[in-house]
A and B are shown apart, each in its own frame.
Chain A
């Protein structure tokens, strides 16, 4: 199995642990992951807010490059990148007018895209392509005694029904339960963390983050496992601000789901970038970081 890899701008900076742990996990499972050469920014929500056609064209450049590289599936871990690339594919497919425009624009840059590339999220690839059983077979440590809150965020299964249910997905739940962990009751599993609102409307965003932390704390989760770099930063780096604003005392570690998976697969702390997390893991998770 071979996949093309689109890290996205976040994973080179704030989301570095995600990039490191994702590569480590794929390596441990013997699945090929090769970075798309010279990928460009997907445009995220901000480009889309300014100019849709250009945003689509810029995003489509990555798809055109992937096609050029053999049309393998493109794995995009960052929720925003995943949504934008998927949306580009869908819009180009459904709107002939847009496809025509984008084709012309790409043509000027010497590129061509024929809608043959599938955009995948790593959680989807792990659970559905590689399979939970195969991962369980490869596991070196059990996650017995670990209670985690599966936080999917709002982007990876919406708006179209992708690889899991749009409101109550269970991919992470099933995966980690098979590895021995216990899923905490966490009904806010797809509730928005506020995303970029942390920069534009921080008060509102901190309130949303507080709701999520409260839910995890109430249900005795030892950590929150996320799939999105922005969610991870909002939930982890801003916990102090949330505490200050609401007079709370949350101290919940927030890990990327690939970091948790990597622990089960026997990867080291360095390989998973765990030393980069701001809130240290507590027992029994800390015991797994041998």
Chain B
């Protein structure tokens, strides 16, 4: 636990910066502000099929966020191992959008480069996005090739028997092809990037004295 300033509610600069990035990402999730309603009942953790493999449980994630320790969450295994099954969101008595907020945390961590080198989830997402941007569609075989070659080529060898049996059954698309509207995808990318760049200026919109979960209300659209 980092030592804290004696003034209650104040956070170190690094924590504030991460918080602002996260709140910007959470802004786009309708209903994100319900995170303030968490009563720490633990239903989410109990429902999560992979919580046993997490270092921080879903319940703890919300508690840590409200305690001003978002950095700990971003460095955890939790946000990456979430399978996005929405069981927590379905059962939460306060209808908190836990899964979608975890996506926002994922994006924050990637934005701030808070993940180890050759990290599997980032590798997969990055290559997926590259393929979609280039072809307009995902090519499963290419994706797995690119991913495993970078992550661990030996794992690729171990998967060969299964890959071969799938190929024999005609379940592997061999030749990637571009869609006709791939230009439209490029334009969408360009326009999206142009829109997101002003994010740097958006930082000024946030009241610098806002800390704690009260800040979520300020960030509501």
A138 at the interface (CB under 8 A from B): no
Q: What B residues does A290 contact at CB under 8 A? A: none
Determine chain A's interface SS by DSSP, over half rule.
helix
Q: Of residues 48 to 89 in A, which have CB atoms within 8 Å of B's CB atoms?
A: 48-54, 57-58, 61
Q: Of residues 118 to 136 in B, which have CB atoms within 8 Å of A's CB atoms?
A: 120-121, 124-126, 128-129, 132, 136
B218 at the interface (CB under 8 A from A): no
Closest to A93 in B: B30
CA distance A228 to B110 in the complex (A): 28
Of B13-21, B35-43, B167-175, B207-215, the one contacting chain A is B167-175
Q: What A residues does B31 contact at CB under 8 A? A: 94
A166 at the interface (CB under 8 A from B): yes
**Shortest CB distance B196–A (Å):** 6
CA distance A143 to B126 in the complex (A): 45
Q: What A residues does B103 contact at CB under 8 A? A: 48-49, 52
Do the beta carbons of B169 and A278 come within 8 Å of each other?
Answer: yes
Closest to A203 in B: B53
Chain B residues with a Cβ under 8 A of chain A: 25, 27-31, 49-50, 53, 80-81, 83-87, 89-90, 97, 99, 103-104, 106-107, 110, 120-121, 124-126, 128-129, 132, 136-141, 144, 147, 162, 165-166, 169-173, 179-181, 183-185, 187-193, 195-196, 221
How many residue pairs link A and B with beta carbons under 8 A? The number is 191
Do the beta carbons of B185 and A61 come within 8 Å of each other?
Answer: yes
- Give the contacting residue for B87; candidates A13, A96, A192, A196; CB below 8 A: A192
- Give the contacting residue for A47; candidates B97, B104, B132, B136; CB below 8 A: B132
7 contacting pairs across A/B (C-beta < 8 A):
A9-B138, A50-B107, A57-B192, A58-B132, A199-B144, A201-B81, A277-B169
Do the beta carbons of A276 and B107 come within 8 Å of each other?
Answer: no
Q: A41-B137, A192-B83, A240-B162 are in contact. Are A97 and B49 (CB under 8 A)?
A: no
CA distance A289 to B110 in the complex (A): 49
CA distance A47 to B130 in the complex (A): 10
Q: A41-B138, A58-B188 are in contact. Are A14 and B172 (CB under 8 A)?
A: yes
A98 at the interface (CB under 8 A from B): yes
- Give the contacting residue for A54; candidates B162, B165, B173, B192; CB below 8 A: B192
CA distance A43 to B84 in the complex (A): 14
A104 at the interface (CB under 8 A from B): yes
Closest to A197 in B: B83
Q: A196-B124, A278-B166 are in contact. Are A40 and B181 (CB under 8 A)?
A: yes
Do the beta carbons of B81 and A14 come within 8 Å of each other?
Answer: no
Do the beta carbons of A166 and B187 come within 8 Å of each other?
Answer: no
| Best-surrounded residue of B89, B141, B170, B192 (most CB of chain A within 10 A) | B192
Q: What B residues does A158 contact at CB under 8 A? A: 85-87, 89-90
Do the beta carbons of B173 and A105 come within 8 Å of each other?
Answer: no
- Give the contacting residue for B171; candidates A13, A95, A107, A111; CB below 8 A: A13
CA distance A191 to B47 in the complex (A): 10
Q: A97-B221, A109-B184, A158-B85 are in contact. Are A52 and B189 (CB under 8 A)?
A: no
Q: A50-B125, A158-B85, A192-B87 are in contact. Are A13 and B221 (CB under 8 A)?
A: no
Closest to B131 in A: A41
Do the beta carbons of A46 and B147 come within 8 Å of each other?
Answer: no
Do the beta carbons of B140 and A9 come within 8 Å of each other?
Answer: yes
Do the beta carbons of B170 and A47 come within 8 Å of each other?
Answer: no
Which 8 A-B pairs give the minimum distances between C-beta atoms? A192-B85, A154-B85, A108-B191, A13-B173, A94-B30, A158-B86, A46-B128, A9-B138
Do the beta carbons of B221 and A96 come within 8 Å of each other?
Answer: yes
Q: A54-B189, A58-B185 are in contact. Are A9 and B137 (CB under 8 A)?
A: yes
**Shortest CB distance A290–B (Å):** 21
Do the beta carbons of B187 and A16 come within 8 Å of each other?
Answer: no
Q: What A residues does B195 contact at CB under 8 A? A: 53, 101, 104-105
Q: Can you add 14 more A-B contacts, CB < 8 Å, to A14-B140, A50-B126, A208-B83?
A: A40-B181, A40-B184, A50-B110, A51-B107, A51-B192, A95-B221, A97-B27, A105-B188, A158-B87, A159-B90, A195-B85, A201-B53, A276-B171, A278-B166
Q: What A residues does B136 contact at CB under 8 A? A: 40-41
Do the beta carbons of A201 and B120 come within 8 Å of each other?
Answer: yes
Q: Of residues 163 to 218 in A, which have CB atoms within 8 Å of B's CB atoms?
A: 166-167, 190-192, 194-197, 199-201, 204, 208
A10 at the interface (CB under 8 A from B): yes
Do the beta carbons of B50 and A204 come within 8 Å of each other?
Answer: yes
CA distance A12 to B139 in the complex (A): 9
Closest to A241 in B: B162
Do the beta carbons of A208 and B49 come within 8 Å of each other?
Answer: yes
- Give the contacting residue for A195; candidates B83, B90, B172, B190; CB below 8 A: B83
CA distance A15 to B172 in the complex (A): 9
A247 at the interface (CB under 8 A from B): no
